[in-house]
């Protein structure tokens, strides 16, 4: 409990200057100001002297202020991400998306607990498409923030999260592969979907695979980055892997991505072109969700290579053999473009300082970041 002081009001009512009151009770003028500001609580003797000089009572001068209790609420939420690994007690971040309460597990902090808005109360219930569960919500701060949710697989989103935080916006991230991100946008469970499923055709980007998904619910598509995808191997490339053909070697262990991921689609296309059966790739059935988790298997020595981005290889000190360049896009429903945090996000993409930071950290080409394509 805190102590609320009414000293300034009583002093002004009596027409006493702070210095005069200080002299009367035997303290410094600074002490009087500190008591009035609430940064210093006087002892019993000083409190009694103040009450006597100001012709009132100690109870009138000082009041105990009850701590505001955090309002805890239990609600049903749709959970995104790796729900199979979620257990009761799992910390969650929340976002309201199209009147849906959506929850995701935050990225774990290096040295402490990550920021959280709620905790999982019960085992996750799987539905036809999405999992739901009861969560215990910690207060309402999350409702008051300018918050939007993005689904995607690009690790550089952490740079965007930090940049938006400095501008008073919060970006909640659901780490999902490209196909799943687009599904969630279709279902109205995220505000933004990040995807690298599109390919360059005759020097142009073919956006039909995206736009045809939404039919009469039009979307806007914005350029984010141009990145390289390729084979990622251990530092020094000890297995001397040079290309897709080496995945058929018996001494090469592969870490695969989940169906629907852009890197998985690139792998399958290249295997088909090379005439290599998936049964020839040792580890093809071993599914790893996410760019960083797949690359960490290579770094730990549990796998010899995976298909990934050059930025991930660079971040983990791994070798990279380029296979293709792919554009990464952000897809947003047009009716939500005027949401203030989305406007802030789009303005941020166009800033030279933001583009330079992402390029320096990842090696992406950010030259067209923020350009509207559709």
Q: Are residues 120 and 172 in the same domain?
A: no
Is the domain of 186 the same as that of 50? no
Asked if 60 and 194 sit in the same domain, the reply is no
Residue 295: per-residue pLDDT: 95
Q: What is the pLDDT of residues 73-121, one digit of tens each?
A: 899 999 998 888 899 999 999 999 999 999 999 876 556 778 899 999 9
Do 75 and 171 belong together in one domain? no
Task: Name the average pLDDT for the chain.
Answer: 89
What is the distance between the alpha carbons of residues 35 and 342, in angstroms, rounded to a whole number?
A: 45
pTM for the full model?
Answer: 0.75
CATH number at residue 10: 1.10.260.40
- pLDDT tens digits, 195-237: 987 654 444 566 777 877 887 668 999 999 999 999 999 999 9
Domain count within the chain: 3
Integer Cα distance of 207 and 222 in angstroms:
11
Highest mean pLDDT, choosing among 9-13, 60-64, 266-270: 266-270
Structural domain for 200, as ranges: 148-374
> Per residue in 297-311, pLDDT tens?
999 999 999 999 999
**Which CATH number fits the domain that encloses residue 351?**
3.40.190.290
List 328's β-bridge partners, or say none.
225
Residues 156 and 223 in one domain: yes
Q: Are both 120 and 153 inside the same structural domain?
A: no
Residues 135 and 154 grouped into a single domain: no
């Amino acid at each position: 409990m805190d102590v609320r002081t009414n000293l300034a009001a009583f002093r002004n009512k009596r027409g006493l200057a702070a210095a005069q009151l200080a002299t009367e009770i035997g303290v410094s003028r600074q002490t009087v100001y500190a008591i009035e500001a609430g940064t210093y609580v006087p002892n019993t003797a000083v409190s009694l002297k103040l009450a006597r000089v100001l012709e009132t009572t100690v109870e009138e001068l000082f009041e105990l202020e009850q701590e505001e209790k955090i309002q805890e609420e239990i609600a049903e939420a749709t959970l995104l991400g790796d729900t199979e690994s979620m257990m009761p007690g799992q910390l969650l971040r929340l976002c309201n998306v199209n009147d849906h309460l959506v929850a995701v597990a935050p990225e774990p902090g290096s040295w402490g607990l990550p920021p959280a808005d709620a905790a999982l109360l019960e085992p996750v219930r799987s539905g036809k498409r999405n999992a739901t569960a009861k969560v215990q919500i910690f207060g309402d701060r999350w409702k008051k923030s300018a918050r939007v949710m993005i689904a995607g697989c690009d690790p550089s989103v952490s740079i965007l999260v930090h940049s938006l935080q400095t501008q008073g916006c919060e970006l909640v991230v659901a780490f999902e592969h490209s196909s799943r991100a687009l599904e969630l946008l279709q279902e109205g469970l995220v505000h933004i979907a990040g995807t690298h499923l599109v390919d360059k055709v005759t020097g142009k980007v073919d956006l039909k695979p995206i736009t045809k998904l939404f039919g009469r619910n039009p979307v806007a598509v914005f350029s984010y980055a141009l990145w390289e995808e390729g084979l990622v191997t251990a530092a020094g490339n000890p297995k001397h892997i040079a290309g897709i053909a080496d995945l058929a070697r018996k001494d090469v262990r592969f870490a695969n991505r989940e169906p629907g991921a852009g890197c998985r689609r690139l792998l399958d296309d290249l295997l088909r072109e090379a005439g290599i059966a998936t049964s020839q790739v040792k580890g093809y059935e071993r599914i790893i969700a996410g760019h960083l988790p797949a690359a960490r298997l290579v770094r730990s020595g549990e796998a010899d290579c995976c298909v990934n981005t050059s930025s991930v290889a660079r971040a983990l000190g791994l070798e990279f053999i380029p296979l293709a360049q792919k554009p990464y896009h952000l897809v947003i429903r047009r009716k939500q473009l005027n949401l203030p945090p989305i406007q802030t996000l789009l303005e941020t993409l166009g800033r030279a300082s933001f583009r330079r930071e992402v390029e320096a950290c990842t090696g992406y080409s950010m030259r067209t970041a923020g350009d509207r394509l559709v």
